[in-house]
Amino acid sequence: MFCLRAIEQARLSIAYSGRNAKIVASHPGLDVGPDGGSAQALEDLAAFRAIPGMTVISPADPTETVAATRAILEFKGPVYMRTGRSPARRVFEPGHVFEIGKGEIIRDGEDLTIIACGVEVARACDAADMLQQEGISARVVNMATIKPIDRDLIARCAHETGAIVTAEDHNIYGGLGGAVAEALAQTVPCPVEFVGVKDVFGASGEPEELADHFEISAPFIAEAAKRVLARKRQ
């Protein structure tokens, strides 16, 4: 949660110096809960993504965290990995294969694509269920590597579904949403809606309560999906 304190050291002593160091930071985002805004890092993905050569990863569940930990140990180069605090819902079965730099379609759909990372992957799946009941077919992509982002997959999803929603437990600026929008701008531009914390600091409360309050829970992802669909049809 206080990993931003070391941003200058990460920049100079690790990335600039070409060190093969791995930073693993727990207690990210609103997931921290009642400790409050002072402890909720909602800027880390953006900050670390801006450091040249830094690989940035945010796994979705315990299974993927284990797989990602193994992967970064074998990977050569500086890595920032954001893990969780509160118990995370399992998204993947044991044996899940993790590859740095690759996104994964975990549920197929035709009308739009929800690209999520971290705790938002499980919420994106819930949102897809809600949308299905309304006759909307949503594809869900787990984008565990925020940098380097999987441009090919993003372009393919934009091409095939024509609308994108991003979801992250992070500021809407500079994190997954920013990375996806940058990739789309240079490949297959399409309507995008961003689900994340809207450029404010967090607050005390239970994680699920905060997800509703700051509008990053499943119903808000579903709402964003409907907004993006409306823009797609225009």
- Candidates 204, 215, 219, 231; binder of another protein (CB under 8 A) is 204
118 burial type by CB count under 10 A (0-12 exposed, 13-18 middle, 19+ buried): buried
* Residue 34 or 189 having the CB closest to another protein: 34
Decide if residue 62 touches another protein (CB under 8 A): no
Q: Compute the least distance from the CB of residue 2 to another protein, in Å.
A: 5
What minimum distance in Å lies between the beta carbon of 215 and another protein?
Answer: 13
One of 13, 17, 34, 198 touching another protein (CB under 8 A): 34
According to DSSP, the β-strands at 145-147 and 164-171 are unpaired
* Strand bridging mode 104-107 / 138-142: antiparallel
At position 132, the amino acid (one-letter code) is: Q
Question: What whole-number distance in Å separates Cα of residue 85 and Cα of residue 134?
Answer: 33
| 36 sits near another protein (criterion: CB under 8 A) | yes
186 binds another protein (CB under 8 A): no
Site size toward another protein (CB under 8 A) is 16
In the complex, the smallest distance separating the C-beta of residue 41 from another protein, rounded to whole angstroms, is: 10
Q: Where are the alpha helices (DSSP H) in the chain?
A: 7-9, 44-49, 62-74, 120-133, 151-161, 176-186, 207-213, 218-233
Distance CA 81, CA 231 (A): 34
With binding defined as CB under 8 A, does residue 219 bind another protein? no
Taking the complex as a whole, the smallest distance from the CB of residue 138 to another protein amounts, in Å, to 29
CB of 5 to another protein, least distance (A): 7
Q: By CB under 8 A, is residue 184 in contact with another protein?
A: no
H helix intervals, 26-171: 44-49, 62-74, 120-133, 151-161
Residues engaged in binding another protein (CB under 8 A): 2, 5, 33-39, 203-206, 209-210, 213
